[in-house]
A = this chain, B = another copy of it.
Amino acid sequence: MSAPTNIACVKYWGKRSIALNTPINSSVSVTLDQADLKAVTTVTVSKTFKKDRLWLNGVEEDVTKSKRFIACVTGVKNLATEKLDSSGEVLVDKSEWKDYGVHVSSMNTFPTAAGLASSAAGYAALVACLAEVFGAIETYPGELSTIARQGSGSACRSLYGGFVAWRMGSDNDTGADSLAEQVFDENHWPKLKAIILVVSDEKKDTSSTEGMSTSVSTSKLLGYRAKEVVEGRMRGIEKAYGEKDFESFGMITMQDSNQFHATCLDTYPPIFYMNDISKSIIKLIHTYNKWKGKIAAAYTFDAGPNAVIYHLEEEGEELLALMLMYFPDDKFLGSLVGSEYVNNEEEWRKAKAWVLDEELLRMCDAKGRSRGVGGDVKKIYVTRSGPGPIVLSDEHSLLDKETGENCYTKPADGNGVALGVFGIGLIGFGLMALSGAGIGLIGNAGGGSKK
């Protein structure tokens, strides 16, 4: 299956319980379109698998050390139902699942651990995939998000499309009421778009888990934020999204991004996720809004330097043109075709043709950013809101159909990340139909066959 990434407008930062992975405040995010960014995961189960195994971006990880992975597998197995074939015959009985080993291969079509919610997409794909395999999707939909949450907090929000809230809940014994909820689906506000500027594809200095833990124990501002600020923002932004009120939506989004990074800075030792390039993007957006005379674009930064800029459709070409003016590719004037730098060639062409207002450029120049200096932004995605996890066709797989071993290799493209190398033909698939080898088979498209 594939699962989307999501970018929070009201941020999650800080765990109430590390054991349960419950948050100190609610959060809400936009699920992004998987046409542009996604995690692709293949899960295969078999009685012949001696142990659970996991490959991330083609490299095997030691799952015995990963509490998160184990929590997700165990959690979904506990919800498993019996598996029937199309004629209603029992393929696998509920009681048999415990004897099945699990193989997982997962990859991202975008930089891992660089603040683009790769773990959210990854764990959402894992849990959705496991649920599909173990027949847990329809039976217990609510509980899935509490399991995904144990993989990576924000993963629970990637289980739904559109505008998704993660309600913090109040049950501190089980965390059962700390779950994701779709506030509006992906068709509610079609004019809402996003531009993502990948500032860095390097792995971040401080992991979210480590950072949150230090923040909770050292930042006085974080506790205050969680208790006194977030709930009002949640109400405000859900109302704004419902009414398609971009100015209110954008204002809260920018303020909450800044406040999240402020609490990181108030942490001891301080945590920095944004860098000087991030700051220059922030300045450009405020300058653009000033020139527009309204909030027409709103940035947000997760735990990394990359910017996500929400905007309405009508500003899309102009904003992309502005970004290309101040953050061109370093090889932009050379042989590159636009789609190597911007994921959508048509949008790139339109933006290139756009003539930016002279006064706007003068105002942006005054903020100290130079035009035409490339190399600070490595990739631009233009995207929008999209649906939750999708079951993919089994044409291609990240696990070998015969052996259940990983068959995906991360391309060595010089940048160290797989950007845009997965075209339409190669999307991986959800559950693998293993044939031969006397294994219980779990099919993807309409169930597998029992041998």
Contact = CB atoms under 8 A, between A and B. Distances in A.
Interface of A: 205, 218, 220-221, 224-225, 228-229, 251, 254-255, 258-259, 261-263, 265-270, 272, 275-276, 279, 282, 286, 368
A229 B222 CA distance: 12
Nearest to A258: B270
Per assembly, the copies of the chain total 2
The 6 closest A-B pairs by CB, nearest first: A262-B262, A262-B266, A262-B265, A269-B286, A276-B276, A224-B224
Find the residue from A205, A262, A263, A269 having the highest chain B CB count within 10 A: A262
B272 A254 contact: no
Given A205-B368, A220-B228, 20 more contacts: A220-B224, A220-B225, A220-B229, A220-B259, A221-B221, A221-B224, A221-B225, A221-B259, A221-B263, A224-B228, A258-B265, A258-B266, A258-B267, A258-B270, A259-B266, A262-B262, A262-B265, A262-B266, A265-B265, A276-B276
B268 A258 contact: yes
Find the residue from A228, A265, A268, A276 having the highest chain B CB count within 10 A: A265
Nearest to A251: B268
Contacts of A279: 272, 275
> Could you tell me the dominant secondary structure of chain A's interface residues?
helix
Contacts of A282: 269-270
A260 to B, nearest CB: 9
Find the residue from A205, A258, A267, A268 having the highest chain B CB count within 10 A: A258
Contact of A263 (B205, B262, B276): B262
Nearest to A218: B255
Contacts of A218: 255
A275 B251 CA distance: 24
Nearest to A368: B205
A315 to B, nearest CB: 18
6 contacts: A220-B225, A220-B229, A221-B224, A258-B266, A258-B270, A269-B282
B276 A254 contact: no
Find the residue from A220, A255, A270 having the highest chain B CB count within 10 A: A270
Contact of A255 (B251, B255, B268): B268
Nearest to A289: B269
A125 to B, nearest CB: 31
A264 to B, nearest CB: 8
Find the residue from A221, A261, A286 having the highest chain B CB count within 10 A: A221
Nearest to A229: B220
Contacts of A258: 265-268, 270
A404 to B, nearest CB: 38
Contacts of A228: 220, 224
Contacts of A286: 269
A221 B259 CA distance: 8
Contact of A275 (B229, B265, B267, B276): B276
A269 B255 CA distance: 8
Contacts of A368: 205
Nearest to A265: B262
Nearest to A224: B224
Contacts of A229: 220
